[in-house]
Amino acid sequence: MDFARNNLPPGKRVFLIYTCGSNTTDYTRKVKRIVRDKSCSLLGTYCCRGYDTFGPFKLFGGIAKGHPDEKDINGAVELFKRLVENV
């Protein structure tokens, strides 16, 4: 959050791409607020599973092993292609 708060220039068009161990939560809530506060235009977001060893998951060797995989990466590429075509 600090990086976005300190480095995102105002008024830019931005998109968010991120990984998470479990996609049951919107992890972009805080950064979306920063985007809005900086008067930026959010063009889209992409989330896919990612290897996660946070907290108790470390005890079990992590979750979402093998992610992001090729399908996940292709999803991010497709989002980027759509964004570029619409700019």
Residue 27, both tokens: 């992890």
Residue 33, both tokens: 């607020």
Residue 6 has pLDDT above 80, yes or no: yes
Beta-bridge mates of residue 63: 52
Residue 11 pLDDT level (bands cut at 50, 70, 90): very high
Q: How far apart are CA 13 and CA 87, in angstroms?
A: 10
Strand segments, DSSP code E, in the chain are: 13-20, 41-49
* pLDDT tens per residue, range 18-64: 998 877 788 899 999 999 999 999 999 999 998 888 888 888 888 88
The answer to whether residues 57 and 42 touch, using CB atoms and an 8 Å cutoff, is: no
Cα-to-chain-centroid distance, residue 11: 20
